[in-house]
Amino acid sequence: MGDCDKIGMLIIYNPAAGQRRRQRLNRALAWLDRHGCTHAVAETTHPGHAAALARTAAAAGATLVVAAGGDGTIAEVAAGLDGSGAAMGVLPLGTANVFAWELGIPIRPEAAAALLATGRTACVHPGVARFGDGSVRLFVQMLGAGFDAAVVEALDLGLKRRFGRGAYVWGAMRQLRRYGFPPLRVVFADGAVAARSVIVTKGRFYAGRHLLAPAAAMARPSFQVALFPGAGPLATAAYGAALPLNLLPHMPGVVLRRADWVRIEGDGVAVQADGDPAGRLPVEVATAAAPLRVVLGTGLGERLLAAA
């Protein structure tokens, strides 16, 4: 497998992602071994570790660093590779795996491993969030302020482990009774608007493969801003019901705007990025200075994919 030999591949595995994913990781590794793709594996031991491992690997000359986990792991690896020449691959082992759905990365471990063997990449443009407290965070898929961030913040990690995406549904039902829906001010380059929840998204999908922003395109440096006016549990429950039907973008009052900069204000309101708690408003969102190369594509991997 000549192409595989050229790839200095490090796989960063988050054992806390998803539910019982080690077996799926092993299936991907076995496929790479069978096809002569040399690789090293590093396991994370704490939040933030994937970013540090990716940064060290890129500095040491790794050409391909693979995030084996969910969207949070992918965002950490992307942050670690920021500004380096290394490309990022994905083995989807998370709960929602939105980024993988977005880029057409197969969920089946053998097929995802075959895609890594292509070594062919395309550029995406992560977003960067700058918080009022000075902290900065890269995100690859989406950032939410308001209701969804409150759900993420209060999520019971034990339930998430056991019930996966079901834990989010349960958490959302609990927040419907508790969340106060404070008003948010959303400042665009050409003026400010009001909303009760906001999702800034690089991609089309949300919470899996559910349509949120049909006009979004990962290959563009801009993003879509979804504005939700609903100020109470009824409107929010209606958004939740519309999501799996792919009707959320068409719900009354929901507005989608393309932007390359936005500031969201609302004192102390929770913010989530790529499904993990990220901080509190205010936050400014823009496009990261450097694009990120992500493994996609055809060629060797496609031929191997057929055989996987």
Ligand X SMILES: Nc1ncnc2c1ncn2[C@@H]1O[C@H](COP(=O)(O)OP(=O)(O)OP(=O)(O)O)[C@@H](O)[C@H]1O
Binding site for ligand X (CB under 6 A): 14-18, 44-47, 49-50, 69-73, 76, 94-97, 275-276
C-alpha to C-alpha distances, 9 to 67, 91, 173, 232, nearest whole angstrom: 11, 13, 42, 48
Kindly tell me the burial class for residue 248, based on how many C-beta atoms sit within 10 Å of its own C-beta (0-12, 13-18, 19 or more). Answer: buried
* 13/31 with CB nearer ligand X: 13
* 38/45 with CB nearer ligand X: 45
In whole angstroms, how close is the CB of 300 to ligand X at the nearest point?
27
In whole angstroms, how close is the CB of 180 to ligand X at the nearest point?
26
- Closest residue to ligand X, Cβ-based? 70
* 161/257 with CB nearer ligand X: 161
* 12/145 with CB nearer ligand X: 12
In whole angstroms, how close is the CB of 73 to ligand X at the nearest point?
3
In whole angstroms, how close is the CB of 19 to ligand X at the nearest point?
8
Buried b (16+ CB within 10 A) or exposed e, 134-161: eeebbbbbbbbbbbbbbbbbebeeeebe
Beta strand 9-13 with 39-43 is: parallel
* 104/252 with CB nearer ligand X: 104
Selection from 251, 127, 133 nearest residue 201 by Cα: 127
**Which residue type sits at 226?**
A
**Which residue type sits at 164?**
G
C-alpha to C-alpha distances, 166 to 65, 272, 300, nearest whole angstrom: 30, 18, 37
* 73/224 with CB nearer ligand X: 73
In whole angstroms, how close is the CB of 176 to ligand X at the nearest point?
21
DSSP-based helix, strand, coil % in the chain, nearest 5: 35, 30, 35
In whole angstroms, how close is the CB of 65 to ligand X at the nearest point?
14
